[in-house]
Amino acid sequence: MSSTSAHFATSRRMAVYQPNHQISMWGNSFKADISQNTGASTIVEADTKLDNRLEDIPRESLGPSKRYDQEANKPADKVVRRLAQNREAARKSRLRKKAYVQQLESSRIKLAQLEQELERARQQGVYIGGHLGDATLGLPGTVNSGVAAFEMEYGHWVEEQNRQTRELRAALQAHVSDIELHMLVESGMSHYDDLFRIKAIAAKSDVFYLMSGMWKTAVERFFLWIGGFRPSELLKVLTSQLDPLTEQQLVAVHNLQLSSQQAEYALSQGMDRLQQTIVETLASDLLGASGAANCMGQMANAMGELEALVSFVNQADHLRQQALQQMYKILTTRQAARALLALGDYFQRLRALSSLWAARPREPA
């Protein structure tokens, strides 16, 4: 049955090539010396080698013969065997891929640390123009292991937030009791507290990193205000989703939004003043009449002034926390649950938008 064996030959080739391809991609454990020649005998040889390596494929039922082109009279067996081999190969491939990705992740962190050490060694006034991509790897400056730790913790935080958001949605749709909702709301609130806590630690480690928003997605960064979200904006998002509110609640929410705006304005003004201060410090005596000692003094002053940034980020986060907690006080349990759901959803959409934007088709250069 020449046509049948030809058919088998083709699909056999395919079956062989895919595992080969995957092996050479993921595995160091396999010696990828299987040639890609198209001669049938070579393929069969390759098959044999492959069979020897794929130890856990059950072959007892298929008999000892490894020469495919002699078994054209048992097509069903061959198909079954090939499918099994494929499944197995695919499974192994997935496992290898997972291991590889994990390896990549830890290498990435190591690489970031190495870059930072390198950067510190080369710093001394030389500007290193790193690429500010979405990865932290390209960031110049005083990034350190605190940043790597924060990135990891923040990643977990986001995952947990997504999980909580799903849970809230399910709970609200299932009309669970207020008591259960209350528990969910409490965990939601304390989850935000966690965020501010890890941010505070990161601020001590590298405040500029936090201010840059590089730990957030691109669209979130567009809305960045002193290292995070702007509370009054968030409140606007929430109130539009929370009808019906009582008259009293409406007034309270309106006042909260106003207070938040006032506080934000004051902080922004403070930031402007800080910028101004640093400019004045650095710009004094630019033509260098007073000598190196003065310059050092200037730098020392500027360093002291920069420290204030940590306070600003802390105050901004404190404001965010206060705004959320005040909102929690104003709302009923059910409303608070819906508010947290709305918030979670909103942030998810911002992140999704960032991904879409990054992946959008662009015109060929």
User: At closest approach, how far in Å is the CB of 259 from other proteins?
Assistant: 5
User: At closest approach, how far in Å is the CB of 240 from other proteins?
Assistant: 20
Contacts of residue 50, defined as CB under 8 A and 6 or more positions apart, other chains included, come to: 16, 19, 20, 34
Q: Which residue in the set 170, 222, 265, 300 belongs to the binding site for other proteins (CB under 8 A)?
A: 265
Side chain identity at 281, as an amino acid letter?
Answer: T
Q: Does 295 bind other proteins (CB under 8 A)?
A: no
Q: Which residue in the set 187, 249, 322, 332 belongs to the binding site for other proteins (CB under 8 A)?
A: 322
Q: Residue 302, Cα to own-chain centre: how many angstroms?
A: 34
Contact segment (CB under 8 A) with other proteins among 145-153, 155-163, 318-326, 339-347 equals 318-326
Contact segment (CB under 8 A) with other proteins among 44-52, 58-66, 199-207, 312-320 equals 312-320
Site for other proteins in 118-177 (CB under 8 A): none
> How is 184-232 classified by DSSP, letter by letter?
HHHHHHHHHHHHHHHHHHHHHH-HHHHHHTTTS-HHHHHT-BTTB--HH
Instruction: State how far the Cα of 54 lies from the Cα of 16, in Å rounded to an integer.
Output: 12
Instruction: State how far the Cα of 115 lies from the Cα of 140, in Å rounded to an integer.
Output: 8
Contact segment (CB under 8 A) with other proteins among 4-12, 219-227, 238-246, 259-267 equals 259-267
Q: Is the dihedral of CA 267, 272, 275, 277 positive or negative?
A: negative
Q: Which residue in the set 40, 149, 250, 274 belongs to the binding site for other proteins (CB under 8 A)?
A: 274
DSSP single-letter state for residue 60: G
Q: Does 312 bind other proteins (CB under 8 A)?
A: yes
User: At closest approach, how far in Å is the CB of 119 from other proteins?
Assistant: 28
CA-nearest of 45, 97, 38 to 69 is 45
User: At closest approach, how far in Å is the CB of 207 from other proteins?
Assistant: 14
User: At closest approach, how far in Å is the CB of 284 from other proteins?
Assistant: 14
What proportions of the chain, in percent to the nearest 5, are helix, strand and coil?
A: 75, 0, 25
Residues 54 and 85: beta-carbon distance below 8 Å: yes
User: At closest approach, how far in Å is the CB of 308 from other proteins?
Assistant: 5
Contact segment (CB under 8 A) with other proteins among 14-22, 71-79, 190-198, 323-331 equals 323-331
Site for other proteins in 176-235 (CB under 8 A): none
User: At closest approach, how far in Å is the CB of 358 from other proteins?
Assistant: 36
Separation in Å, CA 183 to CA 24, 178, 197, 327: 50, 9, 21, 17
Q: Which residues of this protein are in contact with other proteins, per CB under 8 A?
A: 252, 255-256, 259-260, 262-263, 265-267, 269-271, 273-274, 277, 308, 311-312, 315, 318-319, 322-323, 326, 329
